[in-house]
Amino acid sequence: MSFIITGLEAKEFAPLFALSDEDLAERGVTRKTATSKPGFPCRVTLVDAEPGESVLLLNYESHKTATPYRSSYAIYVREGAADAARFENELPPVFKGRPIALLYFNADGHLIGASLALVGDAAEKIEAAFSDNNVAYIHAHNAAHGCFAAEVRRGE
């Protein structure tokens, strides 16, 4: 079963990088410097920031749906992230080495299942989920911290 994992659109976050730390704080956003790799997974590029890189930590509504499953949580975005990553039938770097919670949603935005992908088995779990025609899309979250990692759609 073919699948596509995409990062978030950079243009949504680009204006934030020009703001002062004070202006960011008014919006509930924090500018940080990555201190380790892994540790600061960018949701646009789907790559961990390099130590010394500037990132923004902000709340992001990852599941914009009029259901009880509407969701938002903290994410990182690397300064200078320009293009949303796209991975077809392969896992992005930010999935590797991390346990990933996979949440399965139907076309109406209701949760219809979930699984925990341990290191090395996320692709298999994604393919298995999409064998159910009721699964319209999957949201991947870092299992340990709970933050949104990426959306997974069926391949074309």
- Residue 156's pLDDT is 75
**pLDDT averaged over 10-residue windows placed end to end, the chain, 156 residues:** 94 94 97 95 97 97 95 95 94 94 98 94 96 97 93 92
pLDDT at 119: 86
- Which structural domain range is residue 31 located in? 3-154
| Its pTM surpasses 0.85 | yes
- What stretch of H or E contains 128? helix 122-130
Q: What angle do CA 24, 13, 34 make, to 5 degrees?
A: 70
Tell me what pLDDT residue 128 has.
Answer: 96
Alpha-carbon span 25 to 12, nearest angstrom: 18
- For the chain, how many structural domains are there in total? 1
What pLDDT sits at residue 67? 95
Between the CA of residue 107 and those of 15, 50, 138, 153, 154, what are the distances in Å?
Answer: 32, 37, 11, 11, 12
